[in-house]
Structure 1
Amino acid sequence: MVDIFYPLQWIADKLTYEVFGIAPDTHLGASVNFIIYDVMKIFILLAFMIFVVSYIRTYITPEKSRKILGGKKGLHYHLLASMIGVVTPFCSCSSVPIFIGFVESGVPLGVTFSFLITSPLVNEAAIAALWATLGLEATLIYVISGILLGVLAGYLIGLLKMEKYVADFVYKVKVGDQSKKPEELNIMERAAIAYDSVKDIVGKVWIYVIIGVTLGGIFHGYAPEGILAKYAGKGNPFAVPIAVAIGVPLYSNIMAMIPIVESLIGKGLPVGTALAFLMAVNGISLPEIIILKKVLKNELIGAFVLIMTISIIFTGYLFNIIL
């Protein structure tokens, strides 16, 4: 990654220290250099990942997904549902209607939750931003853990047999065929769809990227070294639960949070604690719970939040041990 993005670091150095004339050994210089470099890197990887995943998505429709998963049980179907969740649209309101369509068409509730859990946790934009800021290793860990979290949490919800706690109207809704006959698209048409997705998603998240990188840059340049290692490091046995507790009620776009987390890790926050915080923000945030309350009863929401919270805390502790 360092070799690939070396030209971007050169540009950031040129702009910061020569064009803007900021001294390299100052807090301001460190912050501005961080902001310029990360903004360029995130946008490049963001466009690349969105294009690739959107191209793959032209082969998959919600209707096809329902047909594949309908009535199927077993851990491998939970894994398949989680993988489908990875390539679902980012920054859209499609989660609830897809959830309704899955349940209505006979997809087991636990399998549906595997999709619902992984979909917001792992998407092309988050992968690109993580890759750009935390590196390939941390990104792979986050993606794999997000998928496994969806599989295991969905499986547990299935074992609890909580179908009666889905709102009654969900079973009565008939979702029409949303298939666009993807087999009829040629390469150029798929590429055009992927390009449109890049414009659409980047157009929606660019401001969050800039805000997040700017805040991260300020923290990177001015925060005292080691302050987080002291209060939220491995020596604090409650660091991970505290991070998760802070993340759940937080209302923020994941794109704004990733650069901040990068800066926090650079100042001493353990990677596992940081990833647990990200998962809490993205997987069990208060806004998502409010949306889910429209189709789920309190008992099922409570089970979902409890399972997710315990799983994320466990994941945070595990990564802090192995990394």
Structure 2
Amino acid sequence: MLVAAAAGWALSWWANERVWDALVEWFGLDLGSRPVGAVHFFFYDTVKIFLLLLGLMFAVGMLRASLDLERARGFLEGRGLTAGLVLAVFLGAVTPFCSCSSIPLFIGFVAAGIPLSVTLTFLIASPLVSEIAAIMIGDQFGWGIAVAYVAAGSAISILIGWAFSRFDLERWVEDLVKTGRVASLRDGDTKPTLADRVDAALAESKDIFSDVWKWVLLGVGLGAVIHGWVPEDFFARYAGPDDPFAVVVATVAGIPLYVNGAGVVPVGEALWAKGMSLGTVMAFMMSSIALSIPQAVMLRRVLKPPLLALYFGAVSVGIMALGFLFNLFG
């Protein structure tokens, strides 16, 4: 049964984009037009995040029900905070998630009891240290700049994670990711059977899904409306090379755009060719990749407002600092 479910999930993941592409072609629509592109993006991204939410929450639930998490946490703590943060950045770098798609795995990590500073580091690094963006930056900007991008993204993730570890942030995480069927399953002395673990993981996945799905629809809906819309004239006017606040403007303006690495790097290269400074371009691309309004909408269901504001503020300030450094030494 588990094998059949996993095969069905993998088939759904494989077919998701292909089905929506085929429907667009079948109806003779132009995917390049903004209305069609927005609708296509909404259905594709909604299904993708729903699949990630159900699949990853079930997998993490099974791990929590099957493994000795106290021993796992002890192993991680024994290696020190730095090792945990570096592992989080590495995992974030190798997972091809956008700012919204990384949220289901973040929820699973928090539910598993992994330190919040480590899970937040993963949440930053997963979209920011993008292997796709790095390759495209290397091709269009030069490989030295691509290496600097990866190093800068990794550094900001680790530094923010370390700063978060200095504070007690657990009280600002919603209860739905701390409690659940799997947690109660491990409270007893009897070792749960495979059927018990499957039932608990499935029930917990359904519980979390029922709490989060409305926020996913709202977040992806907002993202679909603004997806891919980059006002290049605005950046040329208000974030030009002579503007001392160009990095700040580019960082703040990049947040609402919800553009992934593959979509934002060509825009960044075009802005660079128009004379925008390298640090301003990097700040724009990083904020577009790492932060978004849909991400904030979805995260609000699992993070309370103070932590959500702290997360967005810290990442934004870090990106601005990197932009100024790129301008200074680039």
Partner of 2:303: 296
State how 1:229-244 maps to structure 2 within 5 Å: 232-244=239-251
- Cα distance in 2 between the residues matched to 1:128 and 1:167: 37
Specify the alignment match of 1:142 in structure 2.
Answer: 149
1:28-177 superposed matches below 5 A = 67=72, 70-71=76-77, 73-90=80-97, 95-173=102-180, 174=182
> Which whole-Å CA distance do the structure 1 matches of 2:149 and 2:259 have between them?
19
Matched, 1:255 2:258: no
Partner in structure 1 of residue 221 of structure 2 = none
Say whether residues 1:319 and 2:326 are aligned partners.
Answer: yes
Aligned length: 218
How far, CA to CA, are the matches of 1:89 and 1:71 in structure 2?
Answer: 27
Question: Are 1:286 and 2:293 an aligned pair?
Answer: yes
CA distance in 1, matches of 2:163, 2:91: 19
- 1:125 maps to a residue whose letter is I
Deviations 1:138-164 (A, max 9, x none): 111111111111101111122121111
Offset, 1:258 = 0.9
8 A contact 1:70–1:106 mirrored in 2 = no
User: Does the 8 A contact of 2:99 with 2:292 survive in 1?
Assistant: no
Contact 2:258 2:289 in 1 (8 A): no
Does structure 2 retain, via aligned residues, the 8 Å contact 1:248–1:285?
A: yes
TM-superposed deviation, 1:300:
0.4
Tell me if the contact between 2:99 and 2:127 (Cα under 8 Å) persists in the aligned partners: no
8 Å Cα contact 1:90-1:125 kept in structure 2? no
Query: For the structure 1 residues 92 and 156, does the alpha-carbon distance in structure 2 shift closer, same or farther, using more than 3 Å as the test?
Result: closer
Tell me which moved more, 69-78 or 310-319. Answer: 69-78
Q: Percent identity?
A: 36
The AA in structure 2 aligned to 1:262 is E
SS in structure 1 opposite 2:114? coil
Q: Considering only aligned residues, what root-mean-square deviation do their CA atoms show, in Å?
A: 3.0
In 2, distance between residues paired with 1:150 and 1:285?
A: 17
In the alignment, is the contact (CA less than 8 A) between 1:110 and 1:154 conserved in 2?
A: yes
Would you say the 8 A contact 2:128–2:286 is kept in 1?
yes
**Does residue 309 of the first structure (1) align with residue 313 of the second (2)?**
no
Q: Which runs of 4+ in 1 moved over 4 A?
A: 61-64, 66-73, 91-94
Q: Does 1:265 align with 2:272?
A: yes
Conserved? CA contact 2:172–2:307, under 8 Å: yes
Give 1:123 shift: 2.3
Q: 1:114 to 1:278 in 2, by over 3 A?
A: same
Quote the residue 1:276 is aligned against.
283
SS of residue paired to 2:256: coil
Aligned equivalents of 1:70, 1:134: Cα separation in 2: 38
Instruction: Give 2:11's aligned residue.
Output: none
Relative to structure 1, the CA distance from residue 245 to residue 93 in structure 2 (aligned partners, 3 Å threshold; closer, same or farther) is closer
Partners of 1:158 and 1:311 lie apart in 2 by: 16
| 1:199-238 correspondence runs (5 A) | 228=236, 232-238=239-245
Any gaps of 5 or more consecutive residues in structure 1?
A: 1-60, 178-210
